[in-house]
């Protein structure tokens, strides 16, 4: 293995491994450094693949299959009794998916001739990485360095994770027996997804959110309807509720909450989903001149360059939402910049998805955020209850909403609550990035029957031309 590289990358998550592959594609000699896990393995794929996006979606899918078996088979005339489940087998399935995908990343590294070094990396100077491993310590040099070390779950002051009773989002994916009662702190994407998993598997789930507004970054109509749907599903969501103190009593957790109507809450597990913080501590020599912003984010310019010209930072280490797809796109942009190509990212149109049931997704402006910018808008909505494909799948909850700039007819926001919401919004995002007007998107033929037709009808609705809807205005 060489000691000198064109590019050295710290971290192999969605930011790091994607950037490494793109660097290699562009002919750059590349190495990726990844720390060893407690299991003495190199967990290629980072948080997303190993303890985040992928394992959580595996458990969400398994728990949804169970829910459908218990509640929805009879709608189709299918009779079943004594349905049971094996949580260990669900975990085995989840772990198998993670292993397969991690090996896939390793295979891609080998295919693209990317070196992998196991160990903890430290940027000693603008071209040198010190690698600390169990076997020995070593140095490598690189013309360019990319910091992609990701993030870690935030602990509340005085409440460290023990991963037995007080769980991080990582630990919440490894619970071995279904708890009777679970409290989730935080009603964002992670809290709602993990709460949904354990609720479907039989736990009584209480979600405590300090904010008084539910999903404040989503469109108001989506947030309002989603709260109703989740409450009907049995998620006990309490807004404006903070944890004042916790006490461990006989293998249970007693919670004192700011919401006195709830009283003291005694649960078997507490899952903390209050966000994540950049893993920037101890990553580089402070004398280098790389500046940190609030909460430990690395300061970068629009091309993800730090204050040291040949050192970049991407993904969860830098400003913006902590999303895998945003991280990957930054990794590609930086690789192309290093190779001398022009590349940029439109941060205005980052898609957001919450993988509950029904799904929630959005991109671009909400109606409220557009009006705050003094943008005059036209809004169109279409309910999945009027969509044939959704009804045949027993998925009639929710709707699609589009926000159109009245001045130039450009589509500036797409929002969905319902079946395949992420895919529906992605179609709208493609239209937005392609600068299609609502008239142009409305003139495109959509396959029938598909849930995508709800997007088509919502766009038509913005002009009062929806076919399967009583339009508020007609043109």
Residues designated as active site: 448
- How many angstroms separate the Cα of 288 from the Cα of each of 43, 124, 143, 306, 316? 29, 8, 15, 10, 21
DSSP summary character for residue 143: E
How far apart CA 378 and CA 94 sit, in angstroms, is 43
Q: Which long-range contacts (CB under 8 A, 24 or more apart) does 261-269 make?
A: 262/206, 262/238, 265/183, 265/206, 266/181, 267/179, 267/181, 267/182, 267/183, 267/206, 268/165, 268/179, 268/180, 268/181, 268/182, 269/165, 269/167, 269/172, 269/175, 269/179, 269/181, 269/182, 269/183
CB atoms within 10 A of CB 27: 9
Contacting residues for 133 by C-beta, under 8 A, at least 6 apart = 36, 117, 118, 119, 120
Sheet holding 166-167: strands in order across?
A: 166-167, 269-272, 181-185, 204-208, 236-238
Q: 390: which 2 tokens?
A: 């959704």
- DSSP E strands in 186-337: the ranges are 204-208, 236-238, 243-249, 252-257, 265-267, 269-272, 276-278, 311-313
Maximum Cα–Cα distance for the chain, whole Å? 73
Contacting residues for 238 by C-beta, under 8 A, at least 6 apart = 206, 207, 208, 209, 257, 259, 262
Under 8 Å between Cβ of 318 and 301: no
- DSSP E strands in 430-469: the ranges are none
How far apart CA 311 and CA 47 sit, in angstroms, is 22
């Amino acid at each position: 293995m060489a000691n000198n590289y064109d590019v050295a990358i710290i971290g192999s998550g969605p930011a790091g491994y994607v950037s490494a592959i793109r660097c290699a594609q562009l002919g750059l000699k590349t190495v990726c450094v990844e720390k060893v896990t407690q299991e003495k393995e190199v967990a290629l794929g980072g948080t997303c693949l190993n303890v985040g996006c992928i394992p959580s979606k595996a458990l969400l899918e398994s728990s949804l299959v169970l829910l459908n078996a218990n509640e929805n088979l009879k709608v189709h005339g299918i009779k079943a009794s004594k349905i049971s489940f094996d949580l260990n087998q669900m975990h085995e399935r989840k772990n198998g998916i993670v292993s397969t995908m991690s090996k896939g990343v390793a295979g891609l590294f080998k295919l693209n001739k990317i070196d992998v070094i196991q160990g903890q990396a430290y940027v000693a100077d603008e071209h040198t990485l010190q690698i600390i491993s169990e076997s020995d310590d070593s140095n490598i040099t690189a013309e360019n360095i990319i910091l992609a070390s990701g993030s870690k779950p935030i602990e509340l002051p005085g409440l460290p994770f023990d991963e037995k009773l007080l769980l991080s989002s990582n630990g919440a994916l490894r619970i071995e027996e279904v708890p009777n009662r679970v409290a989730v702190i935080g009603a964002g994407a992670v809290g709602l997804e993990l709460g949904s998993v354990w609720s479907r598997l039989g736990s009584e789930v209480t979600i405590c959110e300090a904010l008084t507004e539910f999903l404040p970054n989503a469109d108001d109509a989506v947030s309002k309807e989603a709260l109703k749907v989740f409450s009907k599903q049995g998620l006990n969501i309490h807004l404006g509720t903070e944890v004042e103190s916790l006490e461990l009593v006989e293998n249970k957790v007693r919670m004192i909450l700011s919401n006195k109507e709830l009283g003291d809450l005694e649960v078997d597990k507490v899952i903390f989903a209050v966000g994540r913080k950049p893993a920037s501590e101890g990553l580089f020599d402070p004398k280098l001149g790389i500046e940190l912003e609030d909460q430990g984010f690395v300061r970068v310019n629009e091309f993800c360059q730090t204050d040291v010209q040949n050192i970049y930072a991407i993904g969860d280490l830098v400003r913006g939402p902590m999303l895998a797809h945003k991280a990957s796109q930054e990794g590609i942009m930086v690789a192309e910049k290093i190779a001398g190509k022009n590349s940029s990212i439109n941060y205005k149109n980052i898609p957001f998805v919450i993988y509950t049931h029904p799904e929630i997704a959005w991109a671009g402006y909400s109606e409220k955020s557009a009006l705050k910018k003094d943008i005059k808008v036209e809004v169109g909505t279409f309910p999945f209850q009027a969509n044939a494909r959704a009804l045949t799948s027993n998925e009639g909850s929710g709707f699609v909403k589009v926000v159109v700039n009245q001045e130039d007819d450009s589509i500036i926001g797409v929002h969905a609550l319902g079946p395949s919401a992420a895919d529906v919004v992605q179609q709208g995002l493609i239209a937005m990035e392609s600068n299609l007007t609502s008239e142009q998107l409305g003139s495109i033929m959509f396959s029938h029957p598909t849930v995508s037709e709800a997007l088509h009808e919502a766009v038509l609705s913005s002009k009062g031309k929806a076919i399967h809807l009583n339009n508020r205005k007609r043109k």
